[in-house]
Every structure is written in structure tokens, then in C-alpha cells.
Structure 1
Amino acid sequence: MSEAVDVLLFGLGAIGSFYAYILTKSENVRLTVVARSNYDAVKMNGLTINSEVYGSHTFRPYNVVKTPAEARGTFDYVVCSHKAIDQSSVPAQVAPAVDAKKTTLVVIQNGVGNEEPFRQAFPDVTIITCVTWVGALQTSPGVITHTKSEHTQIGLYPNEKVDNALEQGCLDAFTGFLRAGGTPFDVVEDMQIKRWEKVVWNAAWNSVTTLTLLDTQSWLSSEGGMSLTRQLMTEVIDVARKCGIPLSYDLIDELINKILKMPGIHSSMHADRVAGRQMEVDIILGTPLKKAREFGMKVPIMETIYTLLTELNVYSLSVTERNISQQLELSRISMAPSILDMFSLAGRTAMFTGGTRGIGASMAVALAEAGSDIILIQRDNSNTATKSKIESLGRKATIYTADLASSTEVSALTRKILNDGHDIDILVTCAGIQKRHPAHLFPQNDWDEVLQVNLSTVFTLCRDVGAYMLSRKPNAAGHRGSIINVASLCTFQGGITVPAYAAAKGGVAQLTKALSNEWASKGINVNAIAPGYIATDMTEALQNDKERAESVLSRIPAGRWGNPDDFKGPVIFLASSACA
């Protein structure tokens, strides 16, 4: 695995969350996100994207903070995807994350003139500027809906103080992250042309959908809608051409034809108005209008629409200030997890032994069904059935090989997984072996092997993963991780001709209690599941012994042997936040 690249994403709205998803798909990106209104939801549950392109996924950034200063360090890339409101105040906010010797700033916003406040604050830093054509909406805190609309135009905002080859290298590296994430993009030499083209688009559709509350199709089919839109686009192009940006008036037909091929849509500005939030009026219309005034140009449509939107912004701000307490209370209510959310494992990773067959395979798949990615510990790579089932659910499954009868291999296992960049939220120790002999004839080497696999390996993994969990910051609920060991009915009743197995499983129960006594107060839940008589290959000899099988069945109140899927519910509960 290549060296980690630290990326800070500032602005976790719909667009920011979309790019967070894209960036986390690059294996060497270590992403920290700055969240504000959705902080609690993202910290607790991660981010969920429901995409017409990528499907539904929940993922957890490496770190979630409220401010760049809280991240306590500088970054290789600082991605600014916030709403372009009060842009001049943002450089001071991100400054704690910027090191002029290594940081590259990436601006992903609507509007023109976005880069200048950053250039003034950070004159020696490379700036990458982007225009995004992504259709996304944050439907609830931390939950994003993404349509099929997706494209990024990206290029440099050239800095004469920085070597061009160095700047190009920074651009190439960042486009590599986009490529790894699977999102389409174009590298553009003169990004200011593309910024002004997007402003023509935004000035038209953002403005009219916000002022009229109509979607684009309804507006264009209304009386005078098409004519007014063309006049507004013409005025913006007039200003751009006066600024030296060679836009063609053919762009008007191109953009109108593009919007007519789409279903009627609203805009992010419309969503902000409906939600009572501040809107990106100045960066979209204010800057072109300011330029028009400097040139002494007459732009009556732009003047009128800018005035109306500015007054709406003032009204939204006053409403927000008057109702801040009520809105905060509603926000707290909307962020409260539902009962089903408490059982979600979305964005988490489970390390799992014994997941290739029987109870272990069912439990590993269950964790994936609840949203967890799975690290499978196997003797070798020959059995990929569980891995395939997990991946068919849209979750990640990674196999690490180790001989659990080897204390040397087991001791190196957790360190290797962590060094490869994996997180471990959940540990499940389900691997076990069985050796049957009368106690007075039990071979020493069989005893040693059963105790090693069934007890010593469990201790080593609990110790090493537990140490890692103790080093993590607890989440908002004070939780650091979950450990689930698999004991047995033999833990309590000893069994017949299985003294090593009974001794090991008895030890698992006592180990679980000991670890829980130490770690429960530190945010690590340690529990054990003790299966009874379950129809698996491990109990095949017992099932084939007709007399004993009948005796066993007569003692089971349910009147049947258990099956591996019976353990799906319990393991999800013990791994989730529902298990306090």
C-alpha cells in the first residue's frame, strides 16, 4: 500500500459529501471532513450516499471534526466544497490545516472569483480549481441522494511563484484520486472559461427556481420564461466577454437545450431558500454585476434579479436569527437515531475468524447485511464463498491468511492489518477446531492444538485488537469498539470425549468476563455467544450417532437442532450501538 495522503474536506453539504465518497474510494487517501450542521449524524453513523450511478453505500471518513483547527495538523490537500458565502472569511478558518510547503488547495464551488481570497491569504500555495456538474441533495443529515448527473472540470489556478512542474504534479495526483473514485472529469487549461460558463447556467436556473419556486421545465414553458432566461444569459455573457473571457452566444442555446432534455429540476439555491439558509447570491450574480458596474454596462435583468435575491437573503437571515432555538431543537430531533439505526453497522469494519463455514459464515454475512465491511482471517485463499456473498451485498471483503495454530502468525496478524491501513471496529473470534478422544487417551499434541486455536488465539487477538481500540477516540456515545467471542454449550456442561474443547471454551467464557471487567468502562463491549446443538459439520459425528442425536433432541425445548442463521440477530445486536 502506498503512503497515505492526508486530505481535509471543508464543507460537507451534498456536493462535499459526494466528493468525500469519491475520495474515500482511493486506497491511499486518509480523509478528514469538517462537518457543521450534520456533525453529530456523521460522527455517529458515517455518511450514506444513495446514487443512481454507484448504488447505496455508507462509509466513515478517517476523522470527523467541527473545525480545521480541531484536526490538529496540516494536510497534503485542503478541499473547499463549502457554499461560497462570505468567501473572504474562509482562508482564516482553514489556515490551521495549511502548510505552504506541502498543502495544495482545491476549490470546488459555483461562481467566479472564488480563488482570489485564497491566493491573497496563501500566496505560495498551489490552487486547483474545479467546476462541478453533480446532481446531489442532502435529504437528511449525513444522507445524500445522487442522480446520474456527474462531471467535473478541473485545472490549475496558476501561481507564478510556484514551479509549473510542481503544480502539474499536484494536479496529476489529485486527478488520480478522482480516477480511482470512478468519477468522470476533464482537465482544462483555462478554468476561468469553464467557471463563467457555469455562472451563465447558475445565474439562470438558480435564480428563477428560487424566485418563482417553479422547476426549470415549468418556468421555461411559462409565458415570458424563455425570453427572460435568454436575456439574463446574454447579459452574463456580455460581462464575461468584457472581462476577456471568450464565451460564445451559442452557449445560450446549448445550455437551454441541455436543461430541456432533463426532467424539471430545482437548484441548490432553491433548496437553501426553502430551508431558510443563506444563498450563494454574491458569488453567482454579485461578482458579474460588480464587473458590469465597473465597466459602466447596463444589465437591467441581472440588476433586478440580484436585488430580489439579496432581499430574500436578508429575510432568511432575520428569520434564522429569530428562530434559532427552535431550529436547533428540530435539528436535534431530526438527528436522533431511529431504533433501526441503532442496529446499523454502516461504515464499520469487522475482523472475523472462522467465517468460511457454519455459524461463522452466517454471522460474517449478517454483519455485512447490516452494513459492515469484513476482514476474513482464513487458513488460505482457496475458500472464497463468504467473500463473494459479502461483496454481492456491496460491502468490502478482504482475506488475510494465517495459521491460527501458530502463535507466531497470530501475534503478527493484527499489526499487519492495521499497518495496511484498515480500521477495526468489531472483532469476532469464531474459529475453532474439535478433537474427540476419551480423556485417558487424549494425545498431548491434540490438546495443545485445540487450546492454541480455541483459547490462546482468542486471547492474542482480543489483546492486540483491544489495545488498538483503546487507542481510538470514542464516538459521541463513548464507544470504542465491540469484541464478540464464540463460546459453547460445552463451556457449561463439559461434553463427552471433548476435554480440550470444553476446557478451551470454558476459558473463553472467563476471558470474556475478565476483558469486559477491564474495558467496559473504557467504551469496549466484550461479549460471548455460546451456541448449543447446531447442525454444522463440526457436530456431524454427533448428528450421525442416532442414539445420542435422539437424546440431544429430546432436551431441546424448540424441538429442533439450531442452524447457523439463528445467530445473525444476536451478532448484529452485540456489534451495534443497540448493545450498550
Structure 2
Amino acid sequence: MDTLFGLRGRVALVTGSSRGIGRELATALADADATIVLNGLDADRLESARAEFATRFGAERVFAVAFDVTDESQVSAAVEHIESEIGPIDVLVNNAGIQHRVSLVDVALADWQRVLDVNLTSAFLVGREVARRMIGRGAGKVVNICSVQTDLARPTIGPYTAAKGGLRNLTRAMTAEWAGYGIQVNAVAPGYIHTEMTQNLVDDERFNSWIVGRTPAARWGTPADLAGPVVWLSSRGSDFVNGQVVFVDGGMTVVV
């Protein structure tokens, strides 16, 4: 029997899930009994992740589809393939993201556009394609992965800050248009999370001390800290939660 936070029988697509935060979120959804569709661009890394997931959760509940989340035609073909060959997508987690650190006066237009495409436009493209089918079914869950930079800013990450602020308002726009069809669209905003992509920041003694001192919880977050909120927003336990951004940041955004 399905429980309040259980996902048995649900198909969940997590973009950018061959490593890092996306992989942890996919693991959490699989732990809640969802059928998982992993996504990434690196075919070898994606297949490695699929094989490990299949060993742990069973091959019948784990799939991998490589496609570029910023390419409209690839997104359309991938969603059609998933829906026809695996099953209707019940949960979409828009997690794919990149960072590019350079000052605004020096950032190249191509780099600005690339960051916006991966962090913001991809959520629109994949979300739109999946929602077209969710609307017909009258149900669905979309979880967008934002950031503390949804509300805050720091030097050298202007494109990322702009993209994540836009993702918050895209979450609201999706809610305004899709909530009436039984679709809940929400976002999770991680604080500073210790992953392989942020290891160089953790290793920077000055920056690490600043993060620990700036965060009331006095530590970096881990990908596992995001698991519970994402499972909740993917489950029927959040059926009347719409358009919200849940900050998972150890309290960073509520103190000065």
C-alpha cells in the first residue's frame, strides 16, 4: 500500500543525476520505491550510475536516458521515449546545473548564455514537455533545484545568481498555469553543499571558515540533507503545496 511519502508505482526523472546532488536525489526517490530515470550527457558515467542503481534497487526500477537538457529536440524525443517505453512521468526533478566563476564585467556572452541555458532554460524545456502530458493525466510533481543564490548574491557568480533567481519565478509561473490541473510545482534551494564540484571551496581555508561562520548550523550541507525535502515534494504528502521555495541551507538565509 502506498504511504504518505511513498512513491511506489511512480516514475521519477531526475536531470543531471549521474553524479553529485542529482545522484543523491535519485537515490532518495528510489529508496522511496520510485522507478528512476537517470539523465546525463556523459554516456559512460551515466551507464556506471545505472548499473550501480540496478544492483541496489533492481534493474526493473532503474533506467538511464542520455540527452542534452538544453536541446529542445533532444528533450522532446527523450520524454516521448520515457513515456512510451518506461511509463508516464509522475515526478520531474529539474536538477541539471553548472557554475562559471568570473566577474560580470569580464564574463563572455557565450558563458553567460551557457549558464542560463543549463540552470534555467533547461527547466523550462523539460518541464514544459513533461507538463504537457501531466496536464492530460490531471496529476504530477515538479521539483526545481534552486540555490541560496535564488535570494542572495556573491561576487563572480552573476550568471548563476540570475539563473537561480529566474528559476524561482519560473516555479511560480508554472504553478500559476499548471496547479489547476493537479500538478504541484515547487523548488528546493540548497545552501552550500559539499560535493566533488565544491571541494576546492571546502579546501580554501578562508572560504571554508566564512561558510561555517555564516551558517547557523555551523557546517556545510551534504547532498543527503536535500533528500527528505525532495521526497516530500514528490509525494502525496505535499498535494496542497504549490509554488514554494524550500531553503535547505542550515539557516544561512535567515540571519545577517
**TM-score class normalised by the smaller sequence:** 0.7 to 0.9
Q: State the secondary structure of the residue aligned to 1:420.
A: helix
The Cα of 1:421 is off from its aligned counterpart by 5.0
Match of residue 420 from structure 1: 85
Distance of 2:188 and 2:202 partners within structure 1: 22
Distance of 1:386 and 1:527 partners within structure 2: 26
Instruction: Please report the TM-score for the alignment, with normalisation by the length of structure 2.
Output: 0.87
Q: Which runs of 4+ in 1 moved over 4 A?
A: none
Q: State the secondary structure of the residue aligned to 1:572.
A: helix
**1:92-241 map, 5 Å:** none
Contact 2:70 2:121 in 1 (8 A): no
Match of residue 348 from structure 1: 10
Contact 1:482 1:526 in 2 (8 A): yes
1:447 aligns with 2:109: no
Instruction: Please report the TM-score for the alignment, with normalisation by the length of structure 1.
Output: 0.39
The Cα of 1:413 is off from its aligned counterpart by 2.5
1:535 aligns with 2:197: no
Match of residue 243 from structure 2: none
1:502 aligns with 2:161: yes
The Cα of 1:551 is off from its aligned counterpart by 1.0
**1:480-491 map, 5 Å:** 480-491=139-150
Structure with more contact order per residue of length (Cα contacts < 8 Å, sep ≥ 6): 2
Q: State the secondary structure of the residue aligned to 1:399.
A: strand
**1:248-327 map, 5 Å:** none
CA separation of 1:463 and 1:538: change in aligned 2, threshold 3 A: same
Match of residue 158 from structure 1: none
Match of 2:53 among 390, 393, 399: 390
Match of residue 122 from structure 2: 457
The Cα of 1:385 is off from its aligned counterpart by 4.2
Give the residue type in structure 2 aligned to 1:436. Answer: R
Contact 1:381 1:399 in 2 (8 A): no
| RMSD (CA atoms) | 1.6
The Cα of 1:444 is off from its aligned counterpart by 1.1
CA separation of 1:542 and 1:370: change in aligned 2, threshold 3 A: same
Distance of 1:419 and 1:380 partners within structure 2: 23
The Cα of 1:416 is off from its aligned counterpart by 3.0
CA offset digits 1:132-159 (Å, max 9, x no partner): xxxxxxxxxxxxxxxxxxxxxxxxxxxx
Match of residue 97 from structure 2: 432
Distance of 2:228 and 2:145 partners within structure 1: 14
CA separation of 1:452 and 1:407: change in aligned 2, threshold 3 A: farther
The Cα of 1:514 is off from its aligned counterpart by 1.1
The Cα of 1:564 is off from its aligned counterpart by 0.7
The Cα of 1:407 is off from its aligned counterpart by 3.8
Distance of 1:513 and 1:404 partners within structure 2: 21
The Cα of 1:405 is off from its aligned counterpart by 4.0
Give the residue type in structure 1 aligned to 2:22. Answer: G
The Cα of 1:362 is off from its aligned counterpart by 0.9
Distance of 2:83 and 2:76 partners within structure 1: 13
CA separation of 1:366 and 1:448: change in aligned 2, threshold 3 A: same
Match of 2:69 among 395, 401, 404: 404
Between the aligned residues of both structures, percent identity stands at: 39
Match of residue 363 from structure 1: 25
Contact 1:350 1:425 in 2 (8 A): yes
Distance of 1:483 and 1:489 partners within structure 2: 19
1:380 aligns with 2:42: yes
Contact 1:349 1:425 in 2 (8 A): yes
Give the residue type in structure 2 aligned to 1:559. Answer: A
CA separation of 1:538 and 1:544: change in aligned 2, threshold 3 A: same
Contact 2:69 2:125 in 1 (8 A): no
Match of residue 511 from structure 1: 170
The Cα of 1:577 is off from its aligned counterpart by 0.7
Which has more radius of gyration? 1
Distance of 1:408 and 1:519 partners within structure 2: 23
Match of residue 254 from structure 2: none
Distance of 1:419 and 1:354 partners within structure 2: 21
Give the residue type in structure 1 aligned to 2:26. Answer: A
Contact 2:12 2:37 in 1 (8 A): yes
1:573 aligns with 2:232: yes
Distance of 1:451 and 1:346 partners within structure 2: 34
CA offset digits 1:280-321 (Å, max 9, x no partner): xxxxxxxxxxxxxxxxxxxxxxxxxxxxxxxxxxxxxxxxxx
Distance of 2:72 and 2:204 partners within structure 1: 35
Match of 1:470 among 125, 135, 146: 135
Give the residue type in structure 2 aligned to 1:412. Answer: A
Give the residue type in structure 1 aligned to 2:216. Answer: P
Distance of 1:441 and 1:455 partners within structure 2: 21
CA offset digits 1:342-376 (Å, max 9, x no partner): 11100110011011122111110110010000111
